[in-house]
A and B are shown apart, each in its own frame.
Chain A
Amino acid sequence: MTSRGRVRTSSNSLDPNEDPVSGLERVMSNSNLEQMARQRRRHEEELLFSRQIEESDRTDSHEALSARYESLNYEVSENRLYRDAEKKPSHQLTLWRISRNRWFVCFLIGVFTGLVAAFIDIMVHYSKDIKFNWILKYLISKCGEEQRGTTAGCMWTVMIAWIGYNCVLVTIAAILVIYVAPIAGGSGIPQIKCYLNGIAIPEVVRLKTLVSKAIGVACSVGGGLCAGKEGPMIHSGAAVGAGVSQGKSYSLGIDFGVFREFRNDRERRDFVSAGAAAGVAAAFGAPIGGVLFSLEEGASFWNQNLTWRMFFSAMISSFTVNWILSWFNGRSGWLSWTGLANFGIFENKDYNIWEIPLFLLIGVIGGCLGALFNYLNTRLTEFRKKYVSSKFGRLFECLLVAAVSGFLAFLTIFAIDDCQPIGANPTATSTQINQMWCKKGEYSAVASLFFQNPEESVKSLFHSPINSFGVMTLVIFGIEYFLLTLWTFGISVPSGVFIPAILTGAAWGRLFGILVERLFPSVTGIDPGKYALAGAAAQLGGVVRMTISLTAIIMEATKDITFGLPIMLVLMVTKWVGDMFNEGLYDSHIDLAEVPILGWNPPKMSRNILADRVMRKDVVALERRERVSRIVEILRSTLHHGFPVVDRIEESPYESLPDYGRLKGYILRSQLFKLLENRIFEEEGTSSNALPNDFYECQDDDDQMKSLNDLGLTQYDESCWLDIEPYMHPHPHRVPLNTSLPFIFRLFRGLGLRYLFVVNDDNHVSSSVLVQFIFQIFQLRGVITRKDVARFRERRRNHEYHVDELYISES
């Protein structure tokens, strides 16, 4: 700004010492002249801009931030109503009720998350039963009878049935995602991570998202995709957390009228993190892992009480799952049933110090494979984003993946001649035993890997004796699963990456174990199972780059701390190796979705970027007393979710931007909306209409954002005045112009800010013009939002860090 360091005469305001009439004339003639000049300037600039836009917007960079994401609102608007609330006699009771209800809601979150998890599990179980035990078994046995004496093969009917079944279920999942709730696609962990980071992802925790996600994931897992239900479980848990705590549903349009005190983003964030923890707990039977997951992946904001409540939710949820599943499996009341993806208990837990280097080697392999996976999947997702964008195209892609997954499984069984005599693997259950093309009395070991749910395959790879799977089986199975997972992750069905990655890793880990056993035949006690476990941890760690929570989850899912050290070492090495190449899968997907997420640390090499470069200067501000017509026009033509309130806005004689007065406060769009809705106008000097009790915690709900026309404002209404002062937040966060980017970043990240106002720090003014001195300090100069901070990204090129500025894509 050019006016920095210079005394500015405010030609558009009245001087208190001046005669009011002459002053008024001065101001009026001034503003008329200026207005004309300004109009000319505006016209010229528009011409210039229209030329510029033709040149600049041709750039085609995928690195951009989408302008459609807004921040969540964590700040209480401490207006007069908020302060007055404390004086009410019922306030003590309210405080008590809130802390009681927090626990009650956490209990409910645990129970409902458990119910959802059990529902998914039971659906998948039945789907498996129908697919393998009824349809395919029937066709196979029919084939067995028919084949006597005929020459035509009939196994292809099995194949067609298999592919057909997969396609039907996957179609259901895809339709739910594409046509009902697009946000339900994929794993959901990136979205929850963003939500907990403070970004309002539209519809991410809605009931319809939850329903689509739960049914969809049951269908995609049942439909034989390389997909896990763990990531979607976490998303479902978060949606349950958000839904239960609000006591109402937008999707259904029901309001139960309970938990009104939690209807704001600040409380909801806490319940969403509790829900995410409960989701992990239900998915893996790992309550501590769940809490750590929320800590590691999500919560930017943390406190001790919240942690304890989250743990409570997580425990209740895994308890609920245990209880329901034990009942479902005919052992009612047996609470030691373990989660949806229990990895089984290792009988042989021995390992020696000389095996540690082997585990480290597994970590290196996992890091490389994980980085490769992330690289390829990111490229594929970019391709999809750009080229496969039509609804039909996405549906067709899902069908294609389903068909190919089924076919490849069948092809593998056909191609690999790994027949094992019945009884070779005592842990194989009878449903896994399939003769296929083997001799009588033998079963196909490959078929036993494919004829079951992925989680059971994990268990077989972990716990089967050394001779149950041939080397070739493991190699082909591993490669196939790697590629299919690569292809599957990112199509429009709810699908997690946990179990597929674990399965891939378990396959090559087991192979590694078998090779070690062949290299050192003299050493007895090599159990390929524990190498399979290490491989699974390495592959998963290489893909998602989680550390502490993954260690805890795997230890809890195997119910053993014995392998704690190797798992930790593996994950540590994996993360180091993987981070040398690229970032974790979820982070890549967040970047591709153009979400303005704020990482743990500010970008390096940004200390000299100051607030005046970060902020936006074209602030739509309000004065303390505004005409309704202007407010309506602002609400109609902008999408901003909040507006600063200043004591005056003046046309600047020098620039096209106006000069703002002192920052007096800040008001939310939703609050303005409520004010308009309730007609709190200053007609007769009194505002007779009552405001809702929770006015100071207005939320940006989509239904509040319904069209302004629904308010039915008349022309008379529009000509009224609105006094904003009693309703605004009087002391918003602000920084001076010379604040550095890292400082701003930490403020945003630590406090979960939505807006940060930049004010003048210009105060070396001669004491003779005292009035102007007062005007100039704390003058509003700009506003910083999340996108302004997030657009600065650090990049590493040629071993040096740079700060890049991303584009903002406005749709």
Chain B
Amino acid sequence: MLRHFLIPSFLILSSFSTPELDSAPFTDDPWDLDGPCQKYVEKFAYYQAEMVACATNWSIPPKVCTNCYQNYINFKTYEFETKNLNNVFSLDNRTCSQVIYDNYLLSYSSDISTALTSKIWEKSRCDSCVTITWSLHDNKSAPTFTDRTIQFQQRLYEWRNCVVNYTSGDVLDPKMVPNDPFLTPEDLKNSSKICNECKSEFDELYKFYWKIYTTPDVDFCVDVETTMNDTIHLWDDVWQCAERQDRNRDLFGIMVTFATLMLLTALFYAASYIQGGGQQRNLVRYSRLSDPRGQRSRLLSSGISDADLVHRFVSSTVPPIHQMR
């Protein structure tokens, strides 16, 4: 895998001063007002194309982050440059940045840049695997692989080494892709041996991967996920090393709990039914109310009892209250 990391980037680095780019622009249209900007566009096109080629090359399964980071850096660096072309002018005195990015109707170059950045790089969650320290001005952006990616790779290699030890030598490369036609019957025969011998390495790898995979907010990039998915597929389905968890072992505990809960529920409702329900309520039908009795009847009647009545009519002459009590 490291080989894959290094070789393309070496190529790209060396191609930074490719001769053909120096002879730009290829298309020189004397009628074009934007002629002076043409060579920058063409140079930009070159880096975009490199990135596109790399992405497509590594598209089955998608492994852009670990393989195309250098192309991405180059592309981003030059994109930055085109956005800051403030000293170069077209014939109508606009800066080339304006010409390239403030375009009317359509701007292929910026559409492609957006697609490369968001649809490919960001959607692959590449930041989870490759951290790029951007330094766009002086063209010294430096990629570093995140710790978890490197650890994952180490564990993956341990497992692969183990597998290689128990198979014929050329098994590694074809088996990177499952269902590969190169997978020979002997390899499949070997599988049970592989399963036993390399189980601990696989478990280590899986444990590490699973821990990160299920932790919220910590991710792997798509590269690692696809690599791991393929590895699991190979291990589980092609070599059939997977063991299912045994459900029956838990059956007893579950049955006991089930019985307990059922019993409790039944007992609870039965007991409530037997005990409860005895509350007598005082139900009244208003239309059949008989005339009021007792205190209420007294309340209804006037407050002017006989004594009060007397008082009421003589109150003008007699000072009130005191003698009433």
- B-contacting residues of A (Cβ < 8 Å)? 20, 24, 27-28, 31-32, 42, 45-46, 48-49, 52, 56-57, 59, 61, 64, 67, 133, 137, 141, 147, 151-156, 159-160, 163, 383, 386-390, 393, 396-397, 400, 403-404, 407, 410-411, 414, 421-423, 429-431, 433-441, 613, 616, 618-623, 626-627, 630, 633-634, 637-638, 648-651, 655-658, 715-716, 719-721, 787-788, 791, 805, 807-811
B residues 267-319 touching A (CB-CB < 8 Å): 268-269, 272-273, 275-277, 279-297, 299-304, 306, 308-309, 313
Q: Are A440 and B232 in contact (CB under 8 A)?
A: yes
Which residue from B219, B242, B250 sits with its C-beta under 8 Å from A439?
A: B242
Task: Please name all residues of chain A whose beta carbon is closer than 8 Å to the beta carbon of B288 when the two chains form the complex.
Answer: 56
Task: Please name all residues of chain B whose beta carbon is closer than 8 Å to the beta carbon of A421 when the two chains form the complex.
Answer: 229, 232-233
Closest residue of chain B to A631 (Cβ to Cβ) is: B303
Q: Is B56 an interface residue (CB 8 A)?
A: no
Q: Are B279 and A389 in contact (CB under 8 A)?
A: yes
Closest residue of chain A to B264 (Cβ to Cβ) is: A400
Which residue from B233, B265, B275, B306 sits with its C-beta under 8 Å from A32?
A: B306
Which residue from A387, A436, A637, A787 sits with its C-beta under 8 Å from B272?
A: A387
The complex places the Cα of A147 from the Cα of B203 at a distance, in Å, of 13
How many Å from the CB of A154 to the closest CB on chain B?
A: 8
Which bucket holds chain B's interface residue count? 35 or more
Given A440-B232, A627-B308, A657 and B291 contact (CB-CB distance below 8 Å): yes
The complex places the Cα of A151 from the Cα of B245 at a distance, in Å, of 11
Q: Are B309 and A28 in contact (CB under 8 A)?
A: yes
How many Å from the CB of B130 to the closest CB on chain A?
A: 20
Q: Is B105 an interface residue (CB 8 A)?
A: no
Q: Are A441 and B232 in contact (CB under 8 A)?
A: yes
Task: Please name all residues of chain B whose beta carbon is closer than 8 Å to the beta carbon of A159 when the two chains form the complex.
Answer: 253-254, 257
Which residue from A52, A61, A441, A637 sits with its C-beta under 8 Å from B283?
A: A61
Q: Is B243 an interface residue (CB 8 A)?
A: yes
Task: Please name all residues of chain B whose beta carbon is closer than 8 Å to the beta carbon of A396 when the two chains form the complex.
Answer: 268
The complex places the Cα of A459 from the Cα of B48 at a distance, in Å, of 38
How many Å from the CB of B270 to the closest CB on chain A?
A: 10
Q: Is B236 an interface residue (CB 8 A)?
A: yes
Q: Are B261 and A403 in contact (CB under 8 A)?
A: yes
Q: Is B87 an interface residue (CB 8 A)?
A: no
Can you sample 30 A-B contacts with CB below 8 Å? A28-B306, A31-B309, A46-B294, A56-B283, A133-B216, A153-B250, A153-B252, A386-B277, A387-B276, A389-B276, A411-B254, A421-B233, A430-B219, A437-B246, A437-B250, A441-B236, A613-B287, A618-B296, A620-B296, A623-B304, A649-B300, A656-B297, A657-B291, A658-B300, A716-B321, A719-B320, A721-B320, A808-B283, A809-B284, A811-B281
How many Å from the CB of A811 to the closest CB on chain B?
A: 7
Closest residue of chain A to B312 (Cβ to Cβ) is: A625
The complex places the Cα of A49 from the Cα of B282 at a distance, in Å, of 14
Top 7 A-B residue pairs of the complex, sorted by shortest distance between their CB atoms: A156-B253, A153-B249, A441-B232, A153-B250, A387-B276, A630-B303, A649-B302
Task: Please name all residues of chain A whose beta carbon is closer than 8 Å to the beta carbon of B273 when the two chains form the complex.
Answer: 383, 387
B residues 212-241 touching A (CB-CB < 8 Å): 213-216, 219, 225, 229, 232-233, 235-236
How many Å from the CB of A699 to the closest CB on chain B?
A: 24
Task: Please name all residues of chain A whose beta carbon is closer than 8 Å to the beta carbon of B206 when the two chains form the complex.
Answer: 440-441
Q: Is B101 an interface residue (CB 8 A)?
A: no
Task: Please name all residues of chain B whose beta carbon is closer than 8 Å to the beta carbon of A810 when the two chains form the complex.
Answer: 282-284
Q: Is B2 an interface residue (CB 8 A)?
A: no
The complex places the Cα of A154 from the Cα of B297 at a distance, in Å, of 74
The complex places the Cα of A650 from the Cα of B325 at a distance, in Å, of 24
How many Å from the CB of B258 to the closest CB on chain A?
A: 7
The complex places the Cα of A156 from the Cα of B324 at a distance, in Å, of 82
Closest residue of chain B to A404 (Cβ to Cβ) is: B261
Task: Please name all residues of chain B whose beta carbon is closer than 8 Å to the beta carbon of A422 when the two chains form the complex.
Answer: 213, 229, 232
Residue among B282, B296, B320, B324 with most chain A CB within 10 A = B282
Closest residue of chain A to B242 (Cβ to Cβ) is: A439
Q: Are A805 and B287 in contact (CB under 8 A)?
A: yes
Closest residue of chain B to A59 (Cβ to Cβ) is: B283
Q: Are B293 and A45 in contact (CB under 8 A)?
A: yes
Given A440-B232, A719-B321, A49 and B261 contact (CB-CB distance below 8 Å): no
The complex places the Cα of A403 from the Cα of B308 at a distance, in Å, of 68
Q: Are B299 and A620 in contact (CB under 8 A)?
A: yes
The complex places the Cα of A559 from the Cα of B235 at a distance, in Å, of 44
Q: Are B247 and A414 in contact (CB under 8 A)?
A: yes
Closest residue of chain B to A14 (Cβ to Cβ) is: B313
The complex places the Cα of A20 from the Cα of B33 at a distance, in Å, of 121
Q: Are B286 and A616 in contact (CB under 8 A)?
A: yes
Q: Are A407 and B281 in contact (CB under 8 A)?
A: no
Q: Is B244 an interface residue (CB 8 A)?
A: yes
How many Å from the CB of B320 to the closest CB on chain A?
A: 8
How many Å from the CB of B109 to the closest CB on chain A?
A: 29
Given contact pairs A52-B290, A430-B216, a sample of 17 additional A-B residue pairs in the complex whose CB atoms are under 8 Å apart: A28-B306, A48-B290, A56-B283, A147-B249, A152-B249, A156-B250, A156-B254, A159-B257, A163-B257, A397-B268, A407-B261, A439-B245, A441-B229, A623-B303, A637-B296, A656-B291, A805-B287
Task: Please name all residues of chain B whose beta carbon is closer than 8 Å to the beta carbon of A430 when the two chains form the complex.
Answer: 213-216, 219
